[in-house]
């Protein structure tokens, strides 16, 4: 493997999520593909990210945008198949960028060969079947008859990993060590091993908490993942597992290297992330009530809830003896972008800098580095709509490349969804030539994170204030001050402040750091005192 293992640098790493059908189109069919991603890896290399996480690219009927997997060991033809994968791995290795895939562990498409076999064989217990109607079950469309349990949409039958609790009135509940659950655990190990053998360095695991059913506290689900982790480590040491669980205090001790704070999940019901940037803001979608977010121009929120939840998760991870991390995404394919509703790209800088300087693994959703916005009002596509107030298509629009300089590898924007119709929409091409742009700011923040040990995800943090501005010190001597509000703010500094490695609408004035509306800055306090070692 040419690319160093991501696990060896995870505490400094920056992850970049690509939604493949929207990123770049190399074959001109209107849908992004792996060859298009390979052709744009120079952008990721220039930006400075360490790894790219690719949303599901396996064979699928694409009724849920690829999260309905038909074959876990075959790249979808629309993404270029096996040849495009090999090209991508070669180009990623050449640039030292690790590739992570997306594993849908809890269900398959109803077109998967496993399900077709199971609905024809009454003895096949790979899925959850009931002879009689039961709440949440769907009629079996095959000779077997009866009913099956879906995991999400009706066309996504749940794989059988057993039930934590038995109930004689529900005979379909198998124990977690029954033959079907064991068979499915073995299959997950084989699927991951297949791609590890081909150079993939890790997986982000979709709905990782959903496997064992009726599992209070996810006790059996955690035991399952610890077993899988041990088996993977024995065969493929150093690979990375990142969970979509939304509860780092449980997920990381269960064997994951990272678990994201999400807009759902865990005892917090997604509030750690939503309290930072509730990107619906009551005007776009995802009706989460009127709780003000910290990254809001009105300045009515507070980052205290996020800080408290992070401390609780970090304490649980440490108590378990794990060196895993909390993950902090800017957004993702299920969640509105940082630039949403009334929030513009200038307001989003403080949020982006928080993700890149907080002691967590940051994940940048494609286009956030240029301030792509959530596009409201789009029609549902491939399962993007989850209800009248939850439309995900607006977060999945084509990457806005613009006209790149001559010599760049040609690709077309994906037309999987309409491009943002705003004529002032940001593009990579326009921002590459503007050193004051968000793109250059994001690149500088990534470089700072990767080179300054005080910004390691495992380095100390001391929170000074959680409101406006949100101020904290990393490694004792690197001060971060963030003002996402529309009002100017001030931060008192020591007698003499050191250099300012990164700033936006901010300046040091004597012993005061002055932040304009939406301003943010990183100030090095160690440089003024040679007795202080910034790496300590």
pLDDT in tens, 85-98: 999 999 999 999 99
Q: Domain 461-528: give its CATH code.
A: 2.60.40.1180
With cut-offs at 50, 70 and 90, classify the pLDDT of residue 137. Answer: very high
Three-state SS at 302: coil
Residue of 51 and 403 predicted with greater confidence: 51
Backbone angles phi, psi at 134, to 5 degrees: -150, 150
pLDDT in tens, 421-469: 999 999 999 999 999 999 999 999 999 999 999 999 999 999 999 999 9
With cut-offs at 50, 70 and 90, classify the pLDDT of residue 1. Answer: low
Three-state SS at 85: helix
Please determine, for residue 536, whether its predicted confidence score (pLDDT) is greater than 60.
no
HEC per residue, 125-142 = CCECEECCCCCCCEECCC
Judged by average pLDDT, the poorest of 22-31, 199-208, 333-342, 416-425 is 333-342
Please determine, for residue 345, whether its predicted confidence score (pLDDT) is greater than 60.
yes
Please determine, for residue 111, whether its predicted confidence score (pLDDT) is greater than 70.
yes
With cut-offs at 50, 70 and 90, classify the pLDDT of residue 3. Answer: confident
Backbone angles phi, psi at 240, to 5 degrees: -105, 135
Judged by average pLDDT, the poorest of 195-209, 305-319, 407-421, 484-498 is 407-421
With cut-offs at 50, 70 and 90, classify the pLDDT of residue 124. Answer: very high
d(CA 374, CA 277): 13
Q: Which residues 6+ apart lie within 8 Å of 462 measured at CB?
A: 472, 473, 476
With cut-offs at 50, 70 and 90, classify the pLDDT of residue 280. Answer: low
Mean pLDDT of 14-42: 96
Q: Which runs of E-coded beta strand occur in 105-188? A: 129-130, 138-139, 147-148
| Nearest alpha-carbon partner for 266 in 217, 302, 226 | 217
What pLDDT score was predicted for residue 405? 57
Is there a contact between 330 and 365 (Cβ–Cβ < 8 Å)?
A: yes
Please determine, for residue 284, whether its predicted confidence score (pLDDT) is greater than 60.
no
With cut-offs at 50, 70 and 90, classify the pLDDT of residue 531. Answer: very low
What pLDDT score was predicted for residue 265? 80
Three-state SS at 104: strand
With cut-offs at 50, 70 and 90, classify the pLDDT of residue 285. Answer: very low
Mean pLDDT of 142-161: 96
What residues pair up with 241 in beta bridges, in sequence order? Answer: 203
Is there a contact between 119 and 141 (Cβ–Cβ < 8 Å)?
A: yes
Mean pLDDT of 493-520: 92
pLDDT in tens, 186-241: 999 999 999 999 999 999 999 999 999 999 999 999 999 999 999 999 999 999 99
| Nearest alpha-carbon partner for 149 in 166, 140, 137 | 137
d(CA 293, CA 343): 11
- Quick one: what percent of the chain has pLDDT higher than 90? 85
pTM of the entire predicted model:
0.95
> How far does Cα 451 stand from its chain's mean position?
23
Q: Which residues 6+ apart lie within 8 Å of 457 measured at CB?
A: 10, 11, 12, 325, 326, 359, 360, 361
Mean pLDDT of 529-536: 42
What pLDDT score was predicted for residue 129? 98
Please determine, for residue 40, whether its predicted confidence score (pLDDT) is greater than 60.
yes
Mean pLDDT of 481-503: 92
Is there a contact between 428 and 371 (Cβ–Cβ < 8 Å)?
A: no
Q: How much is the mean pLDDT over the chain? A: 93
Please determine, for residue 9, whether its predicted confidence score (pLDDT) is greater than 60.
yes
Q: What is the DSSP letter of 413?
A: P
DSSP characters for 29-82?
SSS--HHHHHHTHHHHHHHT-SEEEE---EE---SSTT-S-SEEEEE-GGGTHH
* Domain coordinates in residue numbering, the chain: 6-106+176-455, 461-528
Is there a contact between 243 and 306 (Cβ–Cβ < 8 Å)?
A: no
219-235 helix and 179-196 helix, angle to the nearest 10 degrees: 40
Alpha-carbon dihedral sign for residues 233, 239, 245, 246: positive
Residue of 527 and 158 predicted with greater confidence: 158
The three-point CA angle 206-209-211 to 5° equals 90
d(CA 505, CA 484): 11
| Nearest alpha-carbon partner for 286 in 388, 171, 438, 157 | 388
Return the CATH architecture of domain 6-106+176-455: Alpha-Beta Barrel (3.20)
Alpha-carbon dihedral sign for residues 402, 376, 41, 504: positive
d(CA 414, CA 184): 35
Q: What is the DSSP letter of 274?
A: H
Alpha-carbon separation of residue 520 from 126, 247, 300, 495, 517 (angstroms): 52, 29, 18, 20, 9
With cut-offs at 50, 70 and 90, classify the pLDDT of residue 498. Answer: confident
345-357 helix and 438-451 helix, angle to the nearest 10 degrees: 10
With cut-offs at 50, 70 and 90, classify the pLDDT of residue 104. Answer: very high
What pLDDT score was predicted for residue 407? 53
- Quick one: what percent of the chain has pLDDT higher than 70? 94
d(CA 70, CA 322): 35
What pLDDT score was predicted for residue 534? 36
DSSP characters for 334-373?
TB--SB-TT--HHHHHHHHHHHHHSSSEEEEETTGGGT-B
């Amino acid at each position: 493997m040419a690319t160093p293992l991501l696990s060896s640098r995870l505490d400094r790493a920056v992850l970049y999520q690509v939604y493949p059908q929207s990123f770049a189109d190399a074959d001109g069919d209107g849908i992004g593909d792996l060859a298009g991603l390979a052709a744009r890896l120079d952008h990721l290399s220039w930006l400075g990210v360490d790894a790219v996480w690719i949303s599901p690219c396996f064979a699928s009927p694409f009724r849920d945008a690829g999260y309905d997997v038909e074959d876990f060991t075959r790249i979808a033809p629309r993404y270029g198949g096996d040849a495009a994968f090999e090209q991508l791995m070669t180009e990623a290795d050449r640039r030292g960028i690790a590739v992570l895939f997306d594993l849908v562990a809890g269900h398959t498409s109803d077109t998967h060969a496993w399900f077709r076999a199971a609905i024809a064989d009454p003895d096949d217990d790979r899925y959850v079947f009931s002879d009689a109607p039961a709440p949440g079950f769907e009629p079996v469309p095959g000779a077997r008859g009866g009913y099956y349990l879906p995991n999400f949409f009706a066309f996504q039958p749940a794989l059988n990993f057993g039930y934590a609790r038995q109930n004689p009135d529900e005979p379909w509940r198998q124990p977690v060590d029954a033959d079907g659950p064991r068979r499915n655990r073995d299959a997950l190990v084989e699927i991951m091993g297949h791609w590890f053998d081909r150079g993939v360095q890790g997986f982000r695991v979709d709905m990782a908490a959903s496997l064992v059913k009726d599992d209070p506290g996810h006790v059996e689900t955690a035991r399952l993942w610890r077993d899988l982790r041990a088996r993977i480590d024995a065969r493929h040491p150093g690979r990375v597992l990142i969970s979509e669980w939304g509860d780092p205090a449980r997920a990381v001790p269960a064997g994951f290297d990272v678990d994201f704070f999400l807009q759902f999940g865990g005892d917090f019901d997604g509030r750690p992330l939503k309290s930072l940037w509730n990107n619906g803001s009551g005007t776009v979608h995802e009706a989460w009530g009127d709780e003000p977010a910290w990254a809001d121009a009105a300045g009515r929120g507070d980052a205290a809830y996020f800080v408290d939840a992070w401390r609780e998760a970090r304490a649980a991870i440490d108590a378990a003896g794990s060196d895993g991390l909390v993950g902090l995404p800017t957004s993702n394919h299920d969640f509105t972008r940082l630039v949403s509703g009334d929030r513009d790209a200038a307001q989003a800088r403080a949020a982006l800098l928080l993700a890149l300087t907080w002691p967590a693994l940051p994940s940048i959703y494609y286009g956030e580095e240029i301030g792509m916005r959530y596009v409201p009002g789009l029609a549902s596509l491939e399962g993007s709509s989850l209800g009248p107030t939850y439309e995900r298509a607006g977060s999945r629009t084509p990457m806005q490349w613009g006209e790149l300089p001559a010599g760049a590898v040609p690709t077309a924007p994906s037309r999987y969804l309409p491009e943002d119709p705003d004529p002032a929409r940001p593009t990579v091409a326009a921002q590459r030539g503007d050193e004051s742009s968000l793109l250059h700011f994001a690149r500088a923040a990534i470089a700072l994170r990767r080179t300054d040990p005080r910004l390691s995800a495992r380095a100390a943090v001391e929170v000074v204030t959680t409101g406006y501005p949100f101020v904290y010190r990393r490694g004792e001597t690197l001060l971060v001050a963030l003002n996402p509000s529309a009002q100017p703010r001030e931060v008192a500094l020591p007698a003499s402040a050191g250099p300012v490695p990164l700033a936006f609408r901010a300046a040091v004035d004597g012993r005061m750091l002055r932040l304009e509306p939406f301003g943010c800055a990183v100030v090095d306090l160690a440089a003024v005192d040679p007795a202080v070692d910034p790496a300590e």
